Amino acid sequence: MKQYKVGLVGIGAVGTEMIKVLRERNFPAQEIRILARSARRETVAGEEFDVVPASPEAFDGLDFAFFAGTEGAKGASQTYGWDAVKRGCIVIDNGDDFRMDDRVPLVIPEVNAEALDNHQGFIANPNCSTIIGLMALAPLHRAVPIRRFVVSTYQSVSGSGRGAIDELDAQVKAYAAGETAEASAYPHQIAFNCLPQIGSLKETMPGYTSEEAKMLFESRKILGAPEMRISSTCVRVPVFYSHAESFNIEFAAPVTPEQARELLAAAPGVQVVDDVDAGQYPMPLDAAGGDDVLVGRIRPDDSVENGLALFSVGDNIRKGAALNAVQIAEAMIARGLK
C-alpha cells in the first residue's frame, strides 16, 4: 500500500483526536509531521513528536495537511493553506475560513464524496453541528427531498476547545465545594446553565449568530439545495463531549417514521436508537468517543404537511471534526485523487 506523508497544524483537542483517528484506522502514514508556533517535543495521544515551527517550507514533501484548529479559530489556513497547495499538498481544513469558497469542496464523505472529484487541492471540513445534523438528514433527503427544516442544537463545551472543557470541570467542582464558579471561556457560567448564543451576531442575518448561519449555508452547499429553507437556534450546554440536535422537517412528500428508520438504519455512519418505551434514544454520553451519529425520537410532525421530527447526537470532536477530516483523505485515496 502506498504510504503518505501527513502534516498536522495544531495539537489542541481536535489535533490530538486526529492523531488517535489516524492510528485507529491504520491510515497509511509514512510520517506525521506536527506544525505549531514553536519547535518543541510533545507527547500527543501517547506518542512522542518533534513539533516543527509552522512556515511555508514546513509543508514541503507532505501529501496531506490537516488544519486542526478549534471551530472559529482564525489564521493558520489563511496564512499557509493555499501556499501548501502550491507545494503539492492536499489541505483539509477544519476551520471555517474557506467553507463557502466556490473553489473549495465542503465534504461529508458519507453524504457528498463526489464533490471531491473536482477539487483544487483544498477541501473544507464542515462545522461540527452541520456534520452531525446532515448525517441524519441526508439519507432522508436523498429518498424524499427536504423543503424546510427547523433545528435546535445543544452543543457541548468541547466545541470551544480545551479551555472550555477545563472551565466546565472547574465550575462543577467549585459548585460542589460551595465556592464561586468563575467564568472566562464564556460570558456566563456554563455549569448547570444553557447559553443560547454560539458565535457572534451575523450582520447579514439579523438576530442570528454565526453558528446558526453556518447550519443554513453549509447545509445548502453540501446537499446541493440552494433554496432549502432552514432556521436554527444554537445553544451551548454543560456537556463535555457530543452535540445533540432536534429537527422538525418538512418533506416534498410524506415520509413515515417507519420509512425513516429503514433509510437511516441502512446509512453508513448512522445508528438508529429509537425505543422510547425501553428508554432508548440518542444521548451525548452514549455518542461520546464513538464514530457513529445516533438518531432517534423519530415521529410525525403534524404541525406541517409531510412533517417528521427526530433527534440526533454525535461526538463533535470525533465525527464532527477529526474523523470526518481523516475520512476525507481516505475518500480521496479511494477515488484515486491522491
Just list the catalytic residues.
Answer: 128, 243
Helix, strand, coil content of the chain in percent (nearest 5): 35, 25, 40
3-state SS class at 87? coil
Q: Which amino acid is at 178?
A: G
Distances 72 to 123, 182, 210 between C-alpha atoms, Å: 17, 23, 9
Q: Which residues contact 24 (CB under 8 A, 6 or more apart)?
A: none
Q: Which amino acid is at 159?
A: G
State the Cα angle at 240 between 237 and 244, rounded to 5°: 55
- Distance in angstroms (rounded) separating the CA atoms of residues 243 and 153: 7
* CA-based nearest residue to 109, from 266, 330, 314, 260: 330
* CA-based nearest residue to 293, from 129, 146, 162, 142: 129
Residue with grid cell 470525533, as numbered in its chain: 318
- Distance in angstroms (rounded) separating the CA atoms of residues 296 and 261: 8
* CA-based nearest residue to 219, from 204, 237, 233, 231: 231
For residue 100 the three cell numbers come to 463557502
